[in-house]
Structure 1
Amino acid sequence: MIKNKEDLKQYLKMDKSALGKEYKRPHFFGDDIWKFEIILRKHEYYVNTNSNFFLRKLYSFLHKKYGLKLGFSIPCNVVGAGLRINHFGLIVINENAKIGEWCDIHQGVNIGQNIEKNSVPMIGDNVWIGPGVKIFGKIEIGNNTMIGANTVVCKSFPEGNCRIAGNPARIISNEPNYYVRK
């Protein structure tokens, strides 16, 4: 969670690294995903510090505007630093879910609650989530996990360090995510 300016700088630096950007700022044309992530992090900062009412409202508006433009519904304080969104397209994440650092998300992903209130996923660090994945319910996904395309995850895989796929999800390999970040 971003609690101060140093945290904000660290999150922005890790997000930039995850996206593979080597230049200082997003280009005026393009880099829409990077712009969205910057807006998301600044919105989180102003919400968490409860400072500057005007900037909090501005970043709330921009967060919603860019989210609608790109098809993202990613609330504040859900995803850890080092977020990598690979493509435009529908990504929906429940506001109560928790996702660790260095998460790599593709399009068509839905991370949501089950029937019971607050029965939402807890996803560890360095998790690769393929296109079309659905993760729902009070489950835990461990660190260094790869989730294959179109997988439906409705049970926990807390041990991590594996690759899961299928409907319903099952372990297909005990090899960890191929690009473990520190």
Structure 2
Amino acid sequence: MIKSKADYQYYLKRDKIALNIKSNTLESKVISIISPDLIYTFQKRMRKLEYFTNCKNKGLGKIHIAYLRYKYKKISVKLGFSIPINVFGPGLSIVHYGTIVINRATKIGANCRMHACVNIGASGGIPKAPQLGDNIYIAPGAKIYGDITIASNTAIGANAVVNKSFEEENTIIAGVPAKVIGNVDISQIIKYL
């Protein structure tokens, strides 16, 4: 969670690396003005809202937070994302536009790479949601729900339905319901590690 300006800058830097955004050249700056990367714009707005909500939420800061929430909601609807703040650690990479729904009680560590049509949430009226470790790859269409934990360095396969905890690291889980189908070197899937 972002708790200082240094954290905010670190999260932005790690997200930029995760999304392979190169902004030091004149060419990349011109391209970002003409045709901005909407996913990176979304992530920048999310991180800014997290920073102001967590660190600057007194006095006139509340007015600015309301404005940031408006801008964040506007781009969220445009991209099809329903992602609350303070869920993801640094190094988030959302690969495509499309429906992504995440419960606000969910916590996901650093370096999460996630595709479209992912749903992570609570189950059966219980307010507890999944807790995922660091270096998690979530393929398109995965559904993860319930009071469960997923170990770090895990790859979750396309259209998997994960409704129980997986405590072993360096595994691939897939299927309906999900089960361990093999081992993985997560750095081969998440290249920016």
Once the two structures are superposed, residues 24-49 of structure 1 have per-residue CA deviations (whole angstroms, 9 ceiling, x without a partner) of: 56813230000000000000011101
Q: 1:152 is matched with which residue?
A: 161
Structure 2 match to 1:97: 106
Q: Please, which of 138, 144, 148 is the counterpart of residue 139 of structure 1?
A: 148
Supply the AA of the counterpart residue of 2:45. Answer: I
1:45-73 Cα deviation digits (max 9, x unpaired): 11101142232111111110000000001
Could you tell me which residue of structure 2 aligns to residue 8 of structure 1? 8
Structure-1 separation of matches of 2:138 and 2:155 = 6
Letter in 2 for 1:133: A
Bigger shift: 37-46 or 153-162? 153-162
Count residues in correspondence: 182
Partner of 2:23: 23
Q: Distance in 1 between matches of 2:10 and 2:53?
A: 17
- In the superposition, the TM-score normalised over structure 1's length comes to 0.95
Mapped to 1, the partners of 2:62 and 2:177 lie a distance apart of 45
Match of 1:117 in 2: 126
Q: Aligned residue for 1:34?
A: 40
Aligned-partner Cα distance in 2 for 1:105–1:4: 26
In structure 1, the residue matched to 2:64 is 55
SS in 2 for 1:143: coil
Runs of 4+ that moved beyond 4 A:
none
Deviations 1:82-132 (A, max 9, x none): 000000000000000000000001000000001142221000100000000
Structure 1 residue aligned with 2:89: 80
| Cα distance in 2 between the residues matched to 1:160 and 1:119 | 22
Q: 2:182 aligns with which of 166, 170, 173?
A: 173
Secondary structure of residue in 2 paired with 1:128:
strand
Amino acid at match of 2:135: N
Q: Structure 2 CA distance, aligned partners of 1:174 and 1:71? A: 32
Q: Is the 8 A contact 2:91 2:112 kept in 1?
A: yes
Give the structure with the larger helix fraction.
2
- Aligned to 2:70, the other structure's residue is in SS state helix
Letter of the structure 2 residue corresponding to residue 47 of structure 1:
T
Where in structure 2 are there 5+ consecutive unaligned residues? none
The alignment-based identity, stated in percent, is 46
TM-score (norm 2): 0.90
Query: Residues of 1 paired with 2:5 and 2:107: CA distance?
Result: 22
